[in-house]
Amino acid sequence: MRHMLLREWVTKFSRRGFLRGGAAAVAAVAVSGPNLLAGAAEAAGLSAEETRALLKMTRDLFPHDRLDDSFYAKAIAPLQDEAAKDAATRKLLSGGIAQLNAATMASAGASAGKPYADVSDENVRVAAIKKIEGGAFFTKVYGGTMTPLYNQPELWPKFGYEGPSSAQGGYINRGFSDIDWL
Amino acid sequence: MPAKFDLNDSSVVVVIGSGAGGGTLANELAKKGISVVVLEAGRRMELTEFKNDEIGMFGAFTWFDPRTSSGSWYVAKSSPDLPAWTCKLVGGTTVHWGACALRFQEHEFKTRTRYGAIPGANLLDWPLDLKELGPYYDRAELRMGVTGTHGIPRLPASSHGKVLFAGAKKLGYTQYMTTNMAINPVPRDGRAGCQQTGFCVQGCTFGAKWSTLYVDIPQAEATGKAEVRAESQVLRIEHDASGKVTSVVYADRAGNLQRQKARIVAVAGNSIESPRLLLNSSSSQFPQGLANSSGQVGRNYMRHVTSTVFGIFDKPVHMYRGTAQSGIVMDEARLDTKRGFVGGYNLELLPQGLPSFATNLMPGEWGRDRASVIDSYANIAGVWIIGEDMARETNRVTLHPDRKDKFGMPIPNVHVDDHPNDVAMQQHAFQQADALYKSIGAKRTVHHLPFPSTHNMGTNRMSEKPQDGVVNRFGQAHDVKNLFVSDGSQFASSGGENPTLTIVALALRQSEYIADQMSKGAI
Ligand SMILES: Cc1cc2nc3c(=O)[nH]c(=O)nc-3n(C[C@H](O)[C@H](O)[C@H](O)COP(=O)(O)OP(=O)(O)OC[C@H]3O[C@@H](n4cnc5c(N)ncnc54)[C@H](O)[C@@H]3O)c2cc1C
Ligand code: SF4
């Protein structure tokens, strides 16, 4: 499934001219912080509530405590963009989010009656995703957000990845063989 | 100066594809003074266009034209419409390749004799042996600048390599080293030395890695005997009433159909496109496809037993630093049926940058566990299993019954069912790679099942007898004497080694044969 999705992503973005600019172009679509997020949501066709749920779901799929929400906002930007232009995508996303909401609302305990994005208990949110795992909505979000999440240059240092190296002359004089614990 | 040939010039050799096989053959023929037209489906990129960008270069290089897949192999589930990872550009997949350049072992040329009749497999001895190919391996290594051969020093080990070697040593292995690589350790042959950037697969920005894009193609053009037409996809090979090929029909950059006449046609489109083209060139005289009286065109597709194992450590590895694939453990490459399978496998270094790693990891999985592996990225080491897989008649490339590409050419379907021998080997390799990393303190290992196939072989195999295969020992079609196959689809077995050095050696040998046959007027 993964490579197929990556391929869809690659072809889609190459058509829109994103690809030539690579990750930077994807990042340029991005927004950061809650205020901007709301603005982007309107423009995107998904409601602010739906956008919040989509962002939360992306975090639940790829949960890294070291990343603040701005990275996830960038990850969902391509999907928002697509939803704004394509009614079928919008419908798929809205419908899926409604399902997530229904699942958490129906849950027992402290999360009962709350929409997915308002549930603070991660286990309850995860259980809601499990219910729709493998379906069209899940697949769309999983495949549509993964690459834009991990292909952000600003994110790489947080995982100890240094990104492009040719411009610095590679690692030949910058520790390619400096391991000291073996 | 690149040559310019007329479409009606029937004296030229047409080479289809400019990768490892086609690029090498074109260069050699041109150097011998033979006129060559290279038709290449992809565009021509410059070295300066390469970026240290995993996702972007994957998008820029990959052959994305539609393909389908079927069968029980993992790839048909994980990436059904991208069963193989090959390139579409001048230089072919040698732009992407990791540059591990290994020779096949003696027994791998004689699998039917050495392994016996394996049920469910269609093994066949190559109609040549290691001794015969030896001098061509020598020449291939010299022209590609393979480290560890002919006095060319090996590359230094990266931290990532040292982790592999420490584990290998702990496990009692003895044959581990930085791999024989077609990468300059120091400047050589007008190309730079390796700077340990780690972006070999994204196109080497320094040109330290051998690729036909900037080695063979410019050399061929400099002879004044070769013309390379990029963005020219061949759709059909035509023949006359005597059964000799006469021309090829291709779609040019603008999508217009052109017909190039030819004295000889050499097919080197990689092992999915080459049989696709022959099958699509059927005629009343060749109803099963061109050169397919044996029915073997497209069959015996091989792609190696592969998988990746990542070891997660407590301390930093920085696997992305340094020459990507330079590190190998060869102890399991031997033939030793006590392990429960025939053939052998190598363990080769496989680093990934964060974007590739995080998006390829544990497909379909999500949540805390998967994320925790990505959180450990800096402390991870990776090794690729590459082993011999079994030729099977039913593992094959066929033309899709209804789907066509943008030029109206039927798209290929790739069908594979893993042979029990493949499965047994994979399990053994997983066990060994796990033990290797755990022996030096990995707290966890993660398995990654095969990527879309990067090594594609066997679909026009060579054979002594015409009924067993498609081409003879020189890659010349049994049925059509002025038609040649010049890529890995000639392979009669996959070996446990990366295929490209063998493809280049065969192309060098083939170029001599073609020149000889032309001078004798035999073709
Ligand atoms: C990521 C990656 C890493 C690899 N690492 C290694 C390694 O370390 N060692 C190794 O030995 N091998 C490696 N390989 C495999 C290696 O790249 C191939 O074995 C080799 O390039 C195959 O050579 P070829 O000539 O058969 O085909 P290619 O190099 O794929 O060239 C075929 C060319 O033909 C063109 N073509 C196809 N059909 C047509 C048509 N109808 N008309 C016109 N043109 C056409 C294609 O566009 C392409 O340019 C790797 C591959 C990948 C993807
Ligand atoms: S590590 Fe060496 S071979 Fe690989 S891309 Fe960098 S310079 Fe080229």
Which of A1, A13, A181, A49 is CA-nearest to residue B359?
A1
Q: Which residue has the tokens 């269609």?
A: B122
**Pair (A97, A163) in one structural domain:** yes
- Are A68 and A158 part of one and the same domain? yes
Predicted pLDDT at A45: 85
Report yes or no: B297 and B271 within 8 Å, Cβ to Cβ.
Answer: no
A106 & A32 share domain: no
Residue of A nearest to B203 (CA): A166
pLDDT at B197: 97
A134 located within any domain: yes
| Residues B379-407 as b or e (16 or more Cβ within 10 Å = b) | bbbbbbbbbbbbbbeebbbbbeeeeebee
- In this prediction, the residues of chain B whose per-residue pLDDT falls under 50 are none
For chain B, the structural domain boundaries read 13-48+59-519
In this prediction, residue A9 carries a pLDDT of 42
Show the domain range for A5: 1-43
Residues A80, A139: one domain?
Answer: yes
My answer on whether A147 and A71 are in the same domain is yes
Q: How far is the CA of B176 from the centre of ligand 1 (A)?
A: 27
Determine whether B178 is exposed, middle or buried from the number of CB atoms within 10 Å of its CB (0-12, 13-18, 19+).
Answer: buried
The ligand 1 atom nearest the CA atom of B24: 25
Which residue in B52, B380, B90 sits closest to B204, CA to CA?
A: B52
Alpha helix positions (H), B260-304: 270-280
What is the number of other CB atoms lying within 10 angstroms of the CB of residue B441? 16
Protein residue closest via CA to atom 21 of ligand 1: B93
Tell me which of B55, B97, B328, B501 to substitute to probe ligand 1's pocket, judged by most ligand atoms within 8 Å of the beta carbon: B97
Residues A105-135: tens digit of each pLDDT:
999 999 999 999 999 999 999 999 999 999 9
- Flag whether A119 is in a domain: yes
The total number of structural domains in chain A stands at 2
The answer on A55 and A38 residing in a single domain is no
How far does residue B412's CA lie from ligand 1's centre (Å)?
16
CA distance B471 to B461: 6
Task: Check whether residue A81 and residue A155 sit in a common domain.
Answer: yes
**A135 and A60 in a common domain:** yes
Do A88 and A144 reside in the same domain of the chain?
A: yes
Which tokens in the block code for residue A177?
A: 């063989």
Q: pTM for the complete prediction?
A: 0.94
d(CA A105, CA A126): 13
Count of CB atoms within 10 A of residue B490's CB? Answer: 33
Contact A1/B78, CB-based, under 8 Å?
yes
Q: Answer yes or no: do A78 and A135 share one domain.
A: yes
Is residue A180 in a domain? no
How does B350-369 read in b/e, with b if 16+ C-beta sit within 10 Å?
bbbbbbbbbbbbebeebeee
Identify whether residues A72 and A149 lie together within a single domain. Answer: yes
Q: Which residues contact B369 (CB under 8 A, 6 or more apart)?
A: none
pLDDT tens digits for range B247-299: 999 999 999 999 999 999 999 999 999 999 999 999 999 999 999 999 999 99
Selecting from 3.30.2010.10, 3.40.605.10, 1.20.120.160, 3.50.50.60, what CATH number does the domain B13-48+59-519 have? Answer: 3.50.50.60
Residues of chain A found within 8 Å of residue B206, distances taken between Cβ atoms: 166, 170
Higher pLDDT, A44 or A140: A140
Return the structure tokens found at A76: 């969902």
What's the mean per-residue pLDDT of chain A?
Answer: 83
Q: Are residues A31 and A115 in the same domain?
A: no
pLDDT score recorded for residue B289: 98
Answer whether A6 sits within 8 Å of B60, measured CB to CB: no
Read off the pLDDT of each residue in A154-173 and give the average, rounded to a whole number: 96
> Is residue A177 a part of any domain in this protein?
no
Contacts of A84 (CB under 8 A, 6+ apart): A43, A44, A45, A46, A90
Q: How far is CA B363 from the centre of its chain?
A: 24
